[in-house]
């Protein structure tokens, strides 16, 4: 006979503590409909329920909620009998684990959830975390590529698709979005973020959080999101992974923190710390960042999780003397859950018993964790994400594939198109496709795709074959790598074998057009994949130059996870398409763009350097005291420049071409001066002056000419994605508020100052159309 219990009835008639105990244990007896009825009660709030659960928890059970383990055994197989795996297994059964990561699939999640719900004393369900970065099995473009779309609604939908597949596979929490701003493409994790600009990054951060979490976090197709890595991880010195960060407070508050603040305002469930130090303190131990700023000043209501073992790594940093000291400093700083270092579960009880840590800190952490579990509906039904039929219907659905194809097309950036070589003619041509990445269905998936199946992407050759009007000849030319790549292993590059050159050159000579597919392997960017050179790896550069000698009608299609230094190609190759790593539907997206069935509209979210020596290079830099030679021709030495290369980047932030052309005119500010609390109204006329319908990202930049701290030469403060028919014109309007016109000072205080502002509107960060206005007190 099913044991049915009502939370409200028992909460009124007996102590809240006993009520919670019976409520939790009713998972083992009550059916899902009864649990849902209890949870739908309008008279008991989540906070009251959380507090009542805390009253019956032992200290060991509380600390257990702050412990996250990685998957460590075949969940559907026999239990481990000895070693560390056996300890972890017993910890789950005894309620000393609050979350698991990398456990996935309905069968495995159900088994591990069943273990804690039915075996532990209180049966508190687990959070199941996973790195759902740009899709689960059906993959969207890497996040940097998505940022190139500047299409906020499409990015939001992409995150929703990822959430739907992950949730259908038993997962309820993703370690995304990464909202780190970075100016250094040597850092491999730029592929995981939104680029160099805090305004664009903030819009995308909000979109991704809303996409993952939806309007209702307890819906079966949404998952909790994580804003990471808090904070400044993207400013790693020399672009080297896990390196220190050394930036000033003005950069911290104006460049680094805005996307995190936007994620918090969007209701993100969790924050994750980084591996870096900031101002001499590892961020996992930064009380200023986690407790003073995030939890107190910003009012963050979710919980903070460390990155993998970053608590224990504070010992290696030299900030903590041992594991116990690391746990002490992390929990006092504001970390609520420990990812995989076992520092909390091993050390916190002893620290509390000796008085080194107050139990109130533990209660606050556990309160936050339990609240997220309630919001996800896990107390209502711990098996809500374990529907095998939904898993089967959702993973890889036709609807999801269409969505990621749409996202992939919107992410492509046309960098160059001399003589209108693109779009390709659909009939009567011989086309040679050359390059080691052209027929690769694995690399196109990109990095951070740990749930996907290898080689499940559509290669570019496969996509081009869908167009049958031309004769297509494929020759690899050379191998890029010499080993079988995995998510963990380092890649071994071919630097000597050119045996395929002859066949490739022969095909190129006989072709009307050559499409060269070159770039980085999908596993060459991502975590731990920093580079000191940003050229084409292996023998690809030589292959490209040799092919160009025999056929000047070349289209270069780049596959890469970061900006590359391609100065030779930019000078010589007539057409260049930035196609990134676009995920499952890569080949179809690229083919539709090359053949003109989709007019590219992407814009670069990061500056492309001419060479590595220019890095860091970014559009929103500041003037020095000598930005240009004050007397051109008189003294060409003592000004801010290089002696061997120009200052300008290869391609600026916001840059991207179309098959049509756009004209900007009639930039107008409604009036010459405004009070500091007024909205500034701006308009500009955009015209499609070319031969194709197309979309343009209209970008608005400001410059605050004089302020109490030096301001950037330009700052993106507005953009609109506008679609125009050929020959059509539209008036585009912008409003600037205090939020766009203000800045943070050295102490993190937001201020809006009176003074003169310049406005620039155009197609990229070099926009020349300019006007100005005054802000008055």
- pLDDT single digits (tens) 496-506: 999 999 999 99
Helix (H) or strand (E) holding 59: helix 59-65
- pLDDT single digits (tens) 638-648: 889 998 999 99
- 35: pLDDT strictly greater than 50: no
With cut-offs at 50, 70 and 90, classify the pLDDT of residue 10.
very low
Class for domain 662-776, per CATH?
A: mainly beta
Q: Which of 151, 180, 307, 336 is catalytic?
A: 307
- 198: pLDDT strictly greater than 50: yes
What is the maximum alpha-carbon separation in the chain? 96
Class for domain 411-592, per CATH?
A: alpha beta
Mean pLDDT of the 326-343 span: 97
Class for domain 8-391, per CATH?
A: alpha beta
Model pTM? 0.95
3-state secondary structure of 7: helix
Helix (H) or strand (E) holding 634: none
* Better-scored residue on pLDDT, 27 or 245: 245
- Contact between 560 and 528 under an 8 Å Cβ cutoff? The reply is no
Mean pLDDT of the 267-275 span: 98
- 157: pLDDT strictly greater than 90: yes
Terminal-residue alpha carbon distance, the chain:
74
With cut-offs at 50, 70 and 90, classify the pLDDT of residue 7.
very low
| pLDDT above 70: percentage of residues in the chain | 93
* Better-scored residue on pLDDT, 445 or 21: 445
Q: Is 387 a catalytic residue?
A: no
- 24: pLDDT strictly greater than 90: no
Which pLDDT score is estimated for 6?
A: 31
Handedness of CA 624, 749, 715, 262 (dihedral sign): positive
Which pLDDT score is estimated for 181?
A: 98
- What distance in Å separates the CA atoms of residue 162 and residue 182, rounded to the nearest whole number? 24
Which pLDDT score is estimated for 250?
A: 97
- What distance in Å separates the CA atoms of residue 23 and residue 119, rounded to the nearest whole number? 15
Which DSSP category does 621 fall into?
-
Mean pLDDT of the 299-310 span: 98
Which pLDDT score is estimated for 40?
A: 45
CA angle 711, 715, 717 (to 5 degrees): 130
- pLDDT single digits (tens) 398-432: 999 999 999 999 999 999 999 999 999 999 999 99
- pLDDT single digits (tens) 571-630: 999 999 999 999 999 999 999 999 999 999 999 999 999 999 999 999 999 999 988 876
- What distance in Å separates the CA atoms of residue 565 and residue 495, rounded to the nearest whole number? 18
Helix ranges restricted to H, 342-384: 343-353, 359-375
CA angle 210, 169, 308 (to 5 degrees): 70
Which pLDDT score is estimated for 2?
A: 29
- What distance in Å separates the CA atoms of residue 16 and residue 195, rounded to the nearest whole number? 49
Which pLDDT score is estimated for 704?
A: 97
Q: 688: which strand partners?
A: 662
- 26: pLDDT strictly greater than 80: no
- pLDDT single digits (tens) 508-531: 999 999 999 999 999 999 999 999
What residue ranges do the domains of the chain occupy?
Answer: 8-391, 411-592, 662-776
Q: What is the 3-state secondary structure (H, E, C) of 214-272?
A: CCCCCCCCCCECEEEEECCHHHCHHHCCCCCECCCHHHHHHHHCHHHHHHHHCCCCEEE
With cut-offs at 50, 70 and 90, classify the pLDDT of residue 743.
very high
- What distance in Å separates the CA atoms of residue 283 and residue 291, rounded to the nearest whole number? 11
Burial of 468 (0-12, 13-18, 19+ CB in 10 A): exposed
- pLDDT single digits (tens) 680-731: 999 999 999 999 999 999 999 999 999 999 999 999 999 999 999 999 999 9
> Do the bridges between strand 743-744 and strand 729-736 make them parallel or antiparallel, or are there none, so unpaired?
unpaired
């Amino acid at each position: 006979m099913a044991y049915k219990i009502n939370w409200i009835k028992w909460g009124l008639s007996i102590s809240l503590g006993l009520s919670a105990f019976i409520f939790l244990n009713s998972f083992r007896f009550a059916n899902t409909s009864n649990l849902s009825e209890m949870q739908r009660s309008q008279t008991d709030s989540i906070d009251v329920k959380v507090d009542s659960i805390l009253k019956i928890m032992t200290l060991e059970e509380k600390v257990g909620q702050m412990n996250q383990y990685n998957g460590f055994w075949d969940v559907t197989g026999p239990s481990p009998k000895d070693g560390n795996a056996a300890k972890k297994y017993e910890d789950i059964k005894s309620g000393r684990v609050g979350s698991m990561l990398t456990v996935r699939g309905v069968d495995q999640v159900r088994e591990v959830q069943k273990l804690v719900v039915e075996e532990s004393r209180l049966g508190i369900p687990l959070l199941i975390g996973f790195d759902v970065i740009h899709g689960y099995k059906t993959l969207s473009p890497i996040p940097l590529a998505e940022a190139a779309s500047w299409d906020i609604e499409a990015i939001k939908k992409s995150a929703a698709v990822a959430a739907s597949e992950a949730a259908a596979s038993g997962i309820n929490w993703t370690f995304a979005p990464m909202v780190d701003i970075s100016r250094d493409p040597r850092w491999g994790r730029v592929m995981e973020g939104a680029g160099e600009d805090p305004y664009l990054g903030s819009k995308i951060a909000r979109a991704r959080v809303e996409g993952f979490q939806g309007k209702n976090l307890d819906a079966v197709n949404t998952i909790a999101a994580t804003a990471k890595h808090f904070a400044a991880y993207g400013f790693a010195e020399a672009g080297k992974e896990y390196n220190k960060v050394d930036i000033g407070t003005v950069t911290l508050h104006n460049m680094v923190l805005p996307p995190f603040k936007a994620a918090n305002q969007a209701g993100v469930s969790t924050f994750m710390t980084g591996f870096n130090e900031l101002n001499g303190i590892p961020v996992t131990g930064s009380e200023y960042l986690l407790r003073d700023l995030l939890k107190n000043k910003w009012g963050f209501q979710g919980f903070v999780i460390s990155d993998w073992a970053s608590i224990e790594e504070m010992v290696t940093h030299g900030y903590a003397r041992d594991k116990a000291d690391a746990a002490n400093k992390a929990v006092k700083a504001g970390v609520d859950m420990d990812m995989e270092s076992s520092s909390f579960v091993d050390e916190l009880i002893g620290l509390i018993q000796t008085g080194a840590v107050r139990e109130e800190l533990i209660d606050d952490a556990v309160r936050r964790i339990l609240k997220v579990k309630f919001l996800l509906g896990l107390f209502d039904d711990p098996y809500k994400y374990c529907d095998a039929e939904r898993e089967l219907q959702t993973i890889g659905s036709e609807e999801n594939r269409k969505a990621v194809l749409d996202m992939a097309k919107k992410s492509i950036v046309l960098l160059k198109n001399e003589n209108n070589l693109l779009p390709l003619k659909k009939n009567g041509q011989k086309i040679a496709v050359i390059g080691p990445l052209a027929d690769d269905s694995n690399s196109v998936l990109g990095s951070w795709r740990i749930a996907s199946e290898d080689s499940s992407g559509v290669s570019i050759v496969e996509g081009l074959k869908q167009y049958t009007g031309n004769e297509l000849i494929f020759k690899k030319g050379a191998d890029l790598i010499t080993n079988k790549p995995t998510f963990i292993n380092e890649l071994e590059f071919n630097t000597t074998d050119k045996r395929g050159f002859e066949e490739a050159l022969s095909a190129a000579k006989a072709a009307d057009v050559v499409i060269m597919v070159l770039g980085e392997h999908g596993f060459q960017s991502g975590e731990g994949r920093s580079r000191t050179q940003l050229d084409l790896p292996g023998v690809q550069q030589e292959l490209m130059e040799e092919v160009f000698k025999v056929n000047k009608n070349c289209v270069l299609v780049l596959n890469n996870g970061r900006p590359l230094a391609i100065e030779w190609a930019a000078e010589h190759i007539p057409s260049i398409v930035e196609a990134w790593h676009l995920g499952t539907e890569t080949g179809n997206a690229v083919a539709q763009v090359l053949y003109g069935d989709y007019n590219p509209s992407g814009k670069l979210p990061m500056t492309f350097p001419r060479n590595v020596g220019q890095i860091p290079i970014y559009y929103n830099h500041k003037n020095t005291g000598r930005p240009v030679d004050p007397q051109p021709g008189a003294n060409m030495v003592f000004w801010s420049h290089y002696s061997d290369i120009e200052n300008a980047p290869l391609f600026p932030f916001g840059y991207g071409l179309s098959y049509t052309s756009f004209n900007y005119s009639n930039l107008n500010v409604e009036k010459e001066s405004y009070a500091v609390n007024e909205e500034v109204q701006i308009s500009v006329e955009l015209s499609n002056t070319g031969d194709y319908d197309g979309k343009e990202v209209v970008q608005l930049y400001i410059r605050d000419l004089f302020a109490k701290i030096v301001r950037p030469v330009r700052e993106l403060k507005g953009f609109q994605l506008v679609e125009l028919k050929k020959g059509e014109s539209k008036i585009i309007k912008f409003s600037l508020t205090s939020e766009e016109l203000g800045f943070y000072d050295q102490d993190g205080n937001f201020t809006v100052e009176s003074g003169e502002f310049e406005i620039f509107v155009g197609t990229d960060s070099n926009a020349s159309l300019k006007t100005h206005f005054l802000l008055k007190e």
